[in-house]
């Protein structure tokens, strides 16, 4: 039997050898990126005015983001959007990719990821990304794919709905795949799909009548396309104008939106009509189809969509 006097020397030698061996630590393995698809038409593109305040064209700035951060009922909720020096905050843990007219803009989440370029407008993506980024520990990527004036009835028509598959459904899938390809070898998880769309279907009776069925087809086809049968899906209400009068086209359409989600596992309809603000307190007084360009409205819609997604993620 070896003397116990050699035990400390033996243990020390083993420990030193182990320390010198190349190792792979958990910290060396990048966390999978949580990817969320944000899709729809112009209200997903984003029409919330940031700072333009011309008295004639922008109502003196009432309802723009700068004004809203000082005067709106949501001003305390918005403090995180700006740095102490007044510059717009950027998130290191949430990035966004948005393709407009064959030009891809991608980077840290901040104001300006809309169809206008620059930093002139915001959409729901801004506060959605903040809400999700605060909830999720892993890095987040938002892939935004949206075009104005497009219907689910024709333009986004999903394959399982029958008829011709909509060209913008095809383009949406292509852009999402491009965004995923941009990640290279970085591991990722498709974590959710957000749908904010409806105006063009609301003003077409045939499209409204078919909307609930087409929405179910859309959810089914997106999940099948990305082999994610339990993909969480949030559908935002077409809440423009606030509460709708019973029997109106808007009322009928909102019911169709809700019906399109009913009975679909891991899907949620999110009301947004409380996010509406009056025209006289908004920068684009004639644009009711775009929430009058009110930045607080788009901020609140993003907040509602984000918390709706969190409810699904918790389940």
- Bridge pairing between strands 233-236 and 267-270: parallel
Whether 129 has a pLDDT exceeding 80, the answer reads: yes
Report phi then psi at 114, rounded to 5.
Answer: -130, -175
Amino acid 153: pLDDT: 98
Residue whose structure tokens are 């029997």: 247
Average pLDDT, the chain: 92
Q: Which CATH class is domain 25-314?
A: alpha beta
Q: Domain coordinates of the chain in residue numbers?
A: 25-314
Whether 44 has a pLDDT exceeding 60, the answer reads: yes
Contact 109/90 with Cβ under 8 angstroms?
yes
Question: Please, which pLDDT band fits residue 117 given cuts at 50, 70 and 90?
Answer: confident
Residue 116, helix vs strand vs coil:
coil
Q: What is the pLDDT of residues 211-236, one digit of tens each?
A: 999 999 999 999 999 999 999 999 99
Q: Cα separation of 149 and 119, whole Å?
A: 22
Q: Cα separation of 241 and 251, whole Å?
A: 11
Amino acid 16: pLDDT: 36
Q: Average pLDDT in the 93-103 region?
A: 95
Longest dimension (CA), the chain: 97
- Euclidean distance between the first and final Cα of the chain, in Å? 59
| % of the chain with per-residue pLDDT over 90 | 89
Whether 166 has a pLDDT exceeding 50, the answer reads: yes
Whether 177 has a pLDDT exceeding 90, the answer reads: yes
Whether 22 has a pLDDT exceeding 90, the answer reads: no
Amino acid 29: pLDDT: 65
138 DSSP 8-state letter: S
Q: Cα separation of 145 and 166, whole Å?
A: 14
Amino acid 30: pLDDT: 77
Q: Cα separation of 40 and 195, whole Å?
A: 6
């Amino acid at each position: 039997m070896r003397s116990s006097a050699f035990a400390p020397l033996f243990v020390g030698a083993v420990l030193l050898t182990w320390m010198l061996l190349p190792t792979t630590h958990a910290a060396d393995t990048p966390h999978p990126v949580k990817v969320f698809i944000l899709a729809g038409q112009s209200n997903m593109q984003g029409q919330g005015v940031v700072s333009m305040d011309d008295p004639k064209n922008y109502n003196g700035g009432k309802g723009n983001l700068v004004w809203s951060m000082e005067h709106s009922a949501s001003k305390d909720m918005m403090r995180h959007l700006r740095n102490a020096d007044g510059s717009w905050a950027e998130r290191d843990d949430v990035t966004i990719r948005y393709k407009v007219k064959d030009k891809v803009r991608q980077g840290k989440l901040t104001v300006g990821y809309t169809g206008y370029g620059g930093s002139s407008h915001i959409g729901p993506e801004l506060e959605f990304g903040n809400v999700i980024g605060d909830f999720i520990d892993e890095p987040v990527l938002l892939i935004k794919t949206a075009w104005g004036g497009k219907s689910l009835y024709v333009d986004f028509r999903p394959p399982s709905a029958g008829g011709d598959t909509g060209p913008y459904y095809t383009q949406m899938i292509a852009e999402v795949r491009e965004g995923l390809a941009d990640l290279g070898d970085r591991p990722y998880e498709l974590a959710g799909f957000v749908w904010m769309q409806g105006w063009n279907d609301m003003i077409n009776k045939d499209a409204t009548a078919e909307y609930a069925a087409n929405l179910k087809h859309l959810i089914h086809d997106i999940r099948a396309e990305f082999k994610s049968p339990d993909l969480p899906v949030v559908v935002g209400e077409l809440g423009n104008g606030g509460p709708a009068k019973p029997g109106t086209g808007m009322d009928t359409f909102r019911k169709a939106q809700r019906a399109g989600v009913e009975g679909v596992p891991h899907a949620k309809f999110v009301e947004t009509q409380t996010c509406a603000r009056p025209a006289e307190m908004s920068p684009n007084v004639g644009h009711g189809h775009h929430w009058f360009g009110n930045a607080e409205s788009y901020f609140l819609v993003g907040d509602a969509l984000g918390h709706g997604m969190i409810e699904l993620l918790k389940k």
